[in-house]
Amino acid sequence: MLRRLIEKDRPLRDVPLPVTIMLLLLFAVQLAWHSQQAPVVARAEDLPPPKSARTYVISSFGEPIATSKVLNLWLQAFDNQPGVSIPLHALDYKVVESWLDTILELDPRGHYPMLVATRVYGSVSDRDKQREMMEYIFYKFNENPNKNWRWLAEAVITAKHELKDMKLALKYANALSKLATGPNVPYWAKDMKIIVLEDMGEVEAAKILVGGLIESGEITDPYELKFLQHKIEVLEQKVSNIRQDVDK
Amino acid sequence: MFSKIFTISKFTIIESLRNRLLWLSLLVVAISFGLVEFIGDLAITEHRVTQVAILAAYLRLSAVVIVTLFVVSSSVRELQDKTLEMILAMPIHRSSYYLGKLCGFIQVAAIVAVIFSSLVLLYAEPFQVLIWGLSLLLELVLVVALGLVMLFTFNQIPAALTGVFVFYAAARTATSIYLMSKYPIISHTTIAQKFMDGFVEILTWLLPDLHRFTQTEWLAYNTADWSLLIPVLSQTLIYLLLLSAIALFDFYRKNF
């Protein structure tokens, strides 16, 4: 086949000499020109602010969901620019948040931006930035509690274990129990407030809350009832231990 | 008349096979598969949704480009090789020639739609893929008719291709542009702005409503049902007839 391909064309000697010389000469000129260029240096670029969601819809010929998915991946990989790696906490979080908002506007059903907010931008070592991202998650939760409950549940864990801010964790857990009332929200998320109160040493308050929940009759799920009854037993045990310690 | 239409359409399909259109479509499918699997590795959540959304958008645009290139290049060759003159010298109506080419190209578009939908089946629900594939076919039918209109108008590959792509992009984005002009962030009352707003509104009246066609959302979130195809089918029929009337009007006036 190779032979056929070679023999298909006329022999090399049929090419006029000036043409061959010109080809070789210009190839050398291209190499020389490239060698004179300033070397390419890796330079970190700041995250630019996003355009409006409509602009992305138009520039993608009316494909908002596909664009949102591409933007997700682009934003997620922004810390890895050619030749440079930027720490995530060095990014301007206000700009990051506006990107996440734009992506959510393009695909309101998507969870990707919330996941990166929680587990990527919300897991940095800079506590201020982490706190800022938790507030962003809280804000988005308030916009649509039954969709974004699980991201706020993760924010409770982050506030409790990483930020060590029990008041903040309680604020989020409180919002979860009050606003995330949809049938898709599991009881462990709604009842996170009890666990936070328990961890804060507010055992009596947690016990009253659990008792109130059971008596309200709002909880019909047998597994949740079982969980709460078990919780009451654990809390009663803790209260009695505390009382014994005080008596001693 | 029908036998002539059938013969012309048959030879159009044979030409598409000789042009290796099938191989080109399969090559696009192979590239898309590799791309989507790579994207799947990058996504940290919504793995399937990310894959199918990007795949659907990529395949939709590729199908439009492939079909347009084929329609325009194959018809221009017939014009330039004088094959068209030879056919028209026979007792064949110009409308039969047009309908034959249209039917042939629609069947070629159907082959492309089936090949591309088969790949999407790996990532989405079969019923959703069926609706998406049918909608893609209807979209390609309009692209075929548009390609023929542009070709009869311009007779040149670059101009005809540019015409099709500009028209297609405008039809896909007209609704978004209209919404932007109707609900601006900062409202303007200048005459120029009012003229542009009016122009955009006229565009939405004249262009086919392509933003309803072949929506990625159907595959990503399983939202499609048969009822969604009714406006798509109606728009296709109306606009196909309109484009055919334009093409025939132009074709009957042409001197070769």
* Mean pLDDT over each residue of chain A, to the nearest integer: 84
Do A54 and A159 lie in one domain? The reply is yes
Of chain A, the percentage scoring pLDDT greater than 90 comes to 31
Q: Which two tokens stand for residue A37?
A: 């260029």
Residues forming beta bridges with residue A57, ordered by sequence position: none
Residues forming beta bridges with residue A84, ordered by sequence position: A81
Q: How does pLDDT run across A44-55, given as a tens digit for each residue? A: 678 899 998 988
Best of B32, B45, B62, B143 to disrupt the A interface (most A CBs within 10 Å) is B45
Between these two residues, A108 and A188, which has the higher pLDDT value?
A108
Q: Which two tokens stand for residue A192?
A: 């996170």
Q: How does pLDDT run across B112-159, given as a tens digit for each residue? A: 999 999 999 999 999 999 999 999 999 999 999 999 999 888 888 999
Do A51 and A140 lie in one domain? The reply is yes
Q: Comparing C-alpha atoms, which of A105, A106, A97 is closest to residue A75?
A: A97
- The stretches in chain B having pLDDT less than 50 are none
Give the A:B interface size as CB pairs under 8 Å. 73
Do A164 and A236 lie in one domain? The reply is no
Q: Based on the number of CB atoms within 10 Å of its own CB, is A120 exposed (0-12), middle (13-18) or buried (19 or more)?
A: middle
Q: What angle do CA B71, B133, B76 make, to 5 degrees?
A: 0
DSSP 8-state secondary structure symbol assigned to residue A91: S
Helix (H, G, I), strand (E, B) or coil at A80: strand
Do A67 and A109 lie in one domain? The reply is yes
Q: Is the dihedral of CA B70, B71, B76, B79 positive or negative?
A: positive
Q: Compute CA distances B29 → B37, B113, B141, whole Å.
A: 12, 11, 20
Q: A61 — contact with chain B (CB < 8 Å)?
A: yes
Contact (CB, 8 A) for B163 and B250: no
- How far does A120 lie from chain B, in Å, by closest CA? 10
Q: What is the CA radius of gyration of chain B?
A: 20
Domain that holds residue B174: 2-253
Q: Tell me: pLDDT of A206 over 80.
A: no
Lowest-confidence pick of A34-38, A224-228, B75-79, B195-199: A224-228
- Tell me what pLDDT residue A83 has: 66
Residue recorded with tokens 């439009």? B64
Which among A58, A68, A119 has the least Cβ separation from residue B176? A58
Contact (CB, 8 A) for B204 and B178: yes
- Tell me what pLDDT residue B223 has: 92
Do A141 and A89 lie in one domain? The reply is yes
Q: A123 — contact with chain B (CB < 8 Å)?
A: no
Contact (CB, 8 A) for A63 and A106: no
Q: Comparing C-alpha atoms, which of A183, A195, A199 is closest to residue A227?
A: A195
What domain count does chain B have? 1
* DSSP conformation letters of A205-247: HHHHHHHHHHHHS----HHHHHHHHHHHHHHHHHHHHHHHHHH
- 8 Å CB contact of B44 and A109: no
Residues A230 and A220: their CA atoms lie apart, in Å, by: 16
> How confident is the model over A83-103, as a mean pLDDT?
86
Q: Compute CA distances A36 → A1, A23, A26, whole Å.
A: 41, 20, 15
Do A236 and A114 lie in one domain? The reply is no
Between these two residues, B45 and A142, which has the higher pLDDT value?
A142
pTM of the model: 0.79
Task: Give A143's contacts (C-beta < 8 A, 6+ positions apart).
Answer: none
Do A81 and A174 lie in one domain? The reply is yes
DSSP 8-state secondary structure symbol assigned to residue A116: I
Collect all residues of chain B within an 8 Å Cβ-Cβ radius of residue A52. 185
Q: Tell me: pLDDT of A97 over 90.
A: yes
- 8 Å CB contact of A66 and B216: yes
Do A218 and A169 lie in one domain? The reply is no
Domain that holds residue A160: 46-181
Q: Which two tokens stand for residue A138?
A: 């809280």
- Tell me what pLDDT residue B234 has: 94
- Tell me what pLDDT residue B149 has: 93
Residues A20 and A127: their CA atoms lie apart, in Å, by: 66
What domain count does chain A have? 2
Q: Per residue, what are the HEC states of chain B?
A: CHHHHHHHHHHHHHHHHHCCHHHHHHHHHHHHHHHHHHHHHHCCCCHHHHHHHHHHHHHHHHHHHHHHHHHHHHHHHHHHCCHHHHHHHCCCCHHHHHHHHHHHHHHHHHHHHHHHHHHHCCCCCHHHHHHHHHHHHHHHHHHHHHHHHHHHHHCCHHHHHHHHHHHHHHHHHHHHHHHHHHCCCCCCCCHHHHHHHHHHHHHHHHCCCHHHCCCHHHHHHCCCCHHHHHHHHHHHHHHHHHHHHHHHHHHHHCCC
- How far does A72 lie from chain B, in Å, by closest CA? 8
Q: Tell me: pLDDT of A236 over 80.
A: no
Q: Comparing C-alpha atoms, which of B212, B236, B211 is closest to residue B224?
A: B212
Residues B139 and B159: their CA atoms lie apart, in Å, by: 21
**SS3 breakdown of chain A: % helix, strand, coil, rounded to 5?**
75, 0, 25
Would residue A12 count as lying in a domain? no
- As a whole number of Å, the end-to-end CA separation of chain A is 97
State which residue of chain A sits closest to B214, comparing Cα positions. Answer: A63
Residues A242 and A202: their CA atoms lie apart, in Å, by: 11
Would residue A22 count as lying in a domain? no
Side chain identity at residue A8, one-letter code: K
Examine the fold and report which residue of A146, A181, A216 is the final residue of a domain before the chain moves on: A181
Q: A109 — contact with chain B (CB < 8 Å)?
A: yes
Between these two residues, A26 and A217, which has the higher pLDDT value?
A26
> How confident is the model over A151-155, as a mean pLDDT?
91
Residues B156 and B150: their CA atoms lie apart, in Å, by: 9
Would residue A28 count as lying in a domain? no
- Model ipTM? 0.77
Which among A58, A65, A115 has the least Cβ separation from residue B173? A58
Element (H, E) at A85: strand A84-85
Q: Based on the number of CB atoms within 10 Å of its own CB, is A57 exposed (0-12), middle (13-18) or buried (19 or more)?
A: buried
Do A140 and A220 lie in one domain? The reply is no
Distance of CA A177 to the CA centre of its chain: 23
Do A177 and A119 lie in one domain? The reply is yes
Q: Tell me: pLDDT of A1 over 60.
A: no
Would residue A106 count as lying in a domain? yes
